[in-house]
Amino acid sequence: MKKELLMASALVSTLGVASVANAVTATMSGHHDAGLQGADLDTGTSDTLSVKNTSSFSVSLSETTDGGVGVSTSFMLANEGIDGGLQTAGITLAFTDGSKIDLLNAGNAAKSHDISVPGGAGKPEGITVTSTNTSQTGLDFFGEDTGLSFEWHSASDFMMDGLKVGVSYSADNGAAAGASTKLDSSWGVGATYVTTAGDTSVTIGAGLADSTWKDSGTAPSNPSGGMHVGLSAVTGDLTVAVGYADGDKVAATSGTQAEHEVADNTVTKMGVKYVTGDITLSAGFTTAEGKDSDTMGTKGTTVDSQDITEAGISYAVASGVTANLGWKDVSSKDEGGSDDKGGTTWYIGASMSF
């Protein structure tokens, strides 16, 4: 009996060692935000106070082959209060020359090269403009993908010092259009260039994307796509950034706004950030305009618009712990109307990340 126990123990130990040796490397990351948010809406409704909690938990997996090729993927276990869904990556292959390729759920290369423009802190929300105002406020409002996609990323210093480029393509997933518009295919290209001017580090990012759509035959298929360009300049603790985007977007694919499109949408963003010790001060402004239509292929004649002003203060309390104070004001006009709809919101809270 004693020998059998020793053999069993040895077997368990061997299997344990083997499983560890053959396992990929797993890392975990996530965050939890908790705070208080207040909103004062222009619609005349009562001011609101609410508790705002958001959290996420994700796992990254990676390993390197004997030939030096890195293989990685990731998945999210929880994504509460952010966008209502889980995010799962495909497979990423990283090559010895510094380039890599994403396979499945790869995204769009145009979105990978947009410039990050400083804004507020703590992401104060609570301002929902009227649903018929479909003006887009992000630099990457275009560039959809079906998930059956790939994106190639070049190595750094591609063809010249400081340049990185990317190319992506998304294929038809075979979903029937039916009563809703469906993405057929899309492509995107992007580039980021980093250089210096005296004591200033300058980053220029640009992207271009286009897509085709299919529908039930009641309206002509229409593309969604556009371009963006931005510049960020960092001098010591000061960051200044600007960005511009122009394009069209399929804003709704089903429901009350089926076959809906936003045409001639433009977005201009500018922001500034200053870091002093453990304190970060930031502010940003966004202005956006777009003409929406009731059916695909018919451009609207009146303009939807949004102006967003935001500011924030962040304080690094400890490693991974940040206190945030944020403020945002939204001015919204629907169909060229003279009445502003929007409001002001503020947030105070803390974020813990790992």
Task: List, in sequence order, every beta strand (DSSP E) within the chain.
Answer: 25-41, 48-64, 70-80, 91-94, 100-103, 149-153, 163-170, 182-197, 200-214, 225-235, 238-252, 260-276, 279-293, 304-318, 321-333, 341-353
Q: Residue 211 domain-assigned? A: yes
Q: Residue 45 domain-assigned? A: no
Measured between alpha carbons, how far is residue 225 from residues 67, 92, 132, 249 in Å?
39, 25, 21, 6
Q: What is the pLDDT of residues 210-244, one digit of tens each?
A: 998 877 655 555 668 999 999 999 999 999 999 99
Q: Is the pLDDT of residue 58 over 80?
A: yes
Provide the β-strand partners of residue 123.
none
What CATH number should be reported for the domain holding residue 311? 2.40.160
Q: Residue 51 domain-assigned? A: no
Q: Residue 42 domain-assigned? A: no
Q: What is the mean pLDDT of the chain?
A: 84
Pairing verdict, β 200-214 and 225-235 = antiparallel
More confident residue, 335 or 323: 323
- Residue 206 and residue 243 in one domain: yes
Average pLDDT over residues 95-116: 94
Number of domains comprising the chain:
2
Q: Which domain holds residue 69?
A: 56-95
**Three-state SS for 318?**
strand
- Residue 196 and residue 257 in one domain: yes
The candidate with the shortest Cα–Cα distance to 304, out of 293, 319, 317, 320, is 293
Q: Residue 277 domain-assigned? A: yes
Q: Is the pLDDT of residue 157 over 90?
A: yes
- Residue 77 and residue 197 in one domain: no
Contact between 87 and 211 under an 8 Å Cβ cutoff? The reply is: no
More confident residue, 301 or 156: 156
- Residue 76 and residue 214 in one domain: no
**pTM of the prediction?**
0.84
Q: Residue 209 domain-assigned? A: yes
